[in-house]
């Protein structure tokens, strides 16, 4: 069991905790120097996901509009061509 925990964490639990604490302090100092707060980071992540959501589904909405616009021309032409082909037989 201990071996699986060490494998999952990438080392002993105490060593990993110490590394995470030190890394958190270093990152905290850098973000503080940049005048970022935890709220700024959360806002940035939320804004990123909102932008991604709008980009993905905005593109999907445009793709659906293009599909409908093209289908308004393509489908009637296809039906006419099939009817004319059947009429020739």
pLDDT of residue 53: 84
| Distance spanning both ends of the chain, measured CA to CA | 76
pLDDT band at 1 (very low <50, low <70, confident <90, very high): low
In the chain, what are the domain boundaries?
1-36, 37-89
Which pTM value belongs to this model? 0.50
CA distances from 32 to 15, 21, 35, 48, 63 (A): 26, 16, 5, 21, 43
User: What are the b/e assignments for 26-38, b being 16+ CB within 10 Å?
Assistant: eeeeeeeeeeeee
3-60: pLDDT as tens digits: 887 888 888 889 889 999 999 999 999 989 999 888 998 999 999 999 888 887 778 7
Tokens of residue 88, six digits = 């020739």
């Amino acid at each position: 069991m201990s071996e699986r925990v060490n494998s999952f964490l990438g080392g002993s639990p105490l060593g990993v905790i110490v590394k995470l604490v030190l890394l958190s302090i270093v990152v905290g100092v850098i973000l503080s120097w940049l005048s970022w707060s935890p709220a700024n980071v959360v806002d940035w992540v939320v804004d990123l996901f909102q932008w991604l959501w709008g980009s993905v589904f905005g593109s999907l909405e445009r793709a659906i509009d293009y599909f409908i616009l093209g289908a308004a021309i393509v489908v009637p032409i296809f039906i006419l061509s099939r009817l004319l082909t059947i009429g020739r037989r």
